[in-house]
Amino acid sequence: METQVIEVDPLEDGRKVYQQAAAVLAEGELVALPTETVYGLGADAYNCDAVAQVFAAKERPSFDPLILHLANARQLDEVCTVPEELKETVEKLAQEFWPGPMTLVLPKKDVVPDIATSGLPTVAVRVSAHPVMRGVCKALGRPVAAPSANRFGHISPTSAGAVLKELGGRIPWILDAGACSEGLESTILRPMLDEKGKPAVELLREGPLVRDRIRKVVRIAKPRKPRAGEGEEAEAAPNAPGQLPSHYAPTKPLLLWDAKEEFTPEEGVAYGLISYQGDSPLSMQECWANTISLSPGSGRLAEAAVRLFAVMRQMDEDEDVQVIVAEKVAETGLGCAIMDRLRRASAARG
């Protein structure tokens, strides 16, 4: 299969391309398209065969559910049954954060096929802030199931070029609208009632929507403790997308390291450093085959988040580097999401 890369400018030719992409999706084919977070691999969410192709193209295990993208918040009623006691909470969240990088996990309606939710009674949904994703959803008239457009467990793509490297020859179309503006996958929340019966949300995945902003709208519940008998089996069967402990990983081993601590390289191994801003004691050591900074000189978490996956991919493709070392960042604001991705990357092969 030859993969076509179609450049699209939402301000110029967007509507025409959206209709063309929707026609491809309606025929049961796959289209990779941008969101503000990462590029997604889209399929008609109601077409079971098309959704199965997503799992096959990504080599994604069938137990890992997908996110359904909606054209607007009004479409939520089509795919979800929001409990009466949570309707006000869900409405507040949607009004405040959609379109945007927030995914909600809610009870699904029968119209959503089980293959898209990995058999779970809930479905993960969001309204992207990217005009291309929303435009294609609107043109299709149905939700688009779209996990990140990469092979399972690999680094998520934030550009069309990265998608082509991951899935070229496996899918027919990639819509290229440039680099993603956020760079990290969406924050995932599950609206719920806490132990006192009061509305809250469970934070299932850190992302661009940070805790402080969420708390202004709704309370974040404390993480649920595993029930008796839960363990590796429960961990292997996630209850929402993005829950696996090993994910977002380069092909090379990745080690997490404190920026203030000395690193002692193993003889005969070439190391590359992903530094936060490039001026730490760790980055000043002379043992690195290559050093790339996430936020050169400025130390801005927003810049680091946008660059993280691209820098990881660049280091992974560097032939002079055998092992990647990544500096830890402060776990505040977007730093929580950055560290979440780095931990999962290091768990894969570290």
Q: Hey, CA dihedral for 312, 318, 324, 326, is it positive or negative?
A: negative
Report whether 159 belongs to an annotated binding site: no
pLDDT number for residue 242: 80
Report whether 126 belongs to an annotated binding site: yes
Which CATH superfamily hosts domain 254-349? Threonylcarbamoyl-AMP synthase, C-terminal domain (3.40.50.11030)
pLDDT number for residue 233: 46
Report whether 170 belongs to an annotated binding site: no
Asked whether residue 226 carries a pLDDT value surpassing 60, the answer given is no
Percent of the chain scored above 90 by pLDDT?
87
**What mean pLDDT comes out for the span 19-39?**
98
How many whole angstroms separate alpha carbon 130 and alpha carbon 322? 36
Biggest distance spanned by C-alpha atoms of the chain: 62
Domain 4-176: assigned CATH number? 3.90.870.10
How many whole angstroms separate alpha carbon 308 and alpha carbon 334? 12
Q: Are 196 and 47 in contact (CB under 8 A)?
A: no
Three-state SS for 220?
strand
How many whole angstroms separate alpha carbon 215 and alpha carbon 258? 29
pLDDT number for residue 11: 85
Report whether 300 belongs to an annotated binding site: no
Q: How do the domains of the chain map onto residue ranges?
A: 4-176, 254-349
How many whole angstroms separate alpha carbon 107 and alpha carbon 247? 26
CA-nearest of 217, 253, 17 to 98 is 217
In the numeric block, which tokens belong to residue 50? 């098309």
Q: In what order do the strands lie in the sheet with 288-293?
A: 254-257, 323-327, 271-275, 288-293
Report whether 60 belongs to an annotated binding site: yes
In the numeric block, which tokens belong to residue 292? 């790339």
pLDDT number for residue 247: 80
pLDDT band at 297 (very low <50, low <70, confident <90, very high): confident
Report whether 37 belongs to an annotated binding site: yes
How many whole angstroms separate alpha carbon 292 and alpha carbon 222? 36
**What mean pLDDT comes out for the span 118-125?**
97
Give the model confidence (pLDDT) of 60-80 as tens digits: 999 999 999 999 999 999 999
Give the model confidence (pLDDT) of 87-118 as tens digits: 999 999 999 999 999 999 999 999 999 999 99
Asked, colleague to colleague, whether 4-176 and 254-349 share their fold, the answer is no
Percent of the chain scored above 70 by pLDDT?
95
pLDDT number for residue 239: 82
**What mean pLDDT comes out for the span 121-140?**
98
In the numeric block, which tokens belong to residue 142? 């149905």
Asked whether residue 147 carries a pLDDT value surpassing 60, the answer given is yes
Give the model confidence (pLDDT) of 229-276 as tens digits: 544 444 456 788 888 877 888 999 999 999 999 999 999 999 999 999
Asked whether residue 24 carries a pLDDT value surpassing 60, the answer given is yes
pLDDT number for residue 237: 64
* Backbone phi and psi for residue 248, each to the nearest 5 degrees, phi listed first: 55, 40
Report whether 179 belongs to an annotated binding site: no
Asked whether residue 317 carries a pLDDT value surpassing 50, the answer given is yes
Report whether 134 belongs to an annotated binding site: no
pLDDT number for residue 350: 45
Strands (E) located in the chain = 4-7, 31-34, 39-44, 67-69, 102-107, 122-126, 144-145, 173-176, 187-193, 199-205, 254-257, 271-275, 288-293, 323-327
Average pLDDT, the chain: 94
Asked whether residue 293 carries a pLDDT value surpassing 70, the answer given is yes
- At position 279, the amino acid (one-letter code) is D
For 254, what's the count of Cα atoms within 13 Å in the CB-facing half-sphere?
Answer: 29
pLDDT number for residue 131: 97
pLDDT band at 338 (very low <50, low <70, confident <90, very high): very high
pLDDT number for residue 234: 45
Report whether 247 belongs to an annotated binding site: no
Three-state SS for 75?
helix
Give the rounded distance of the alpha carbon of 231 from its chain centre: 24
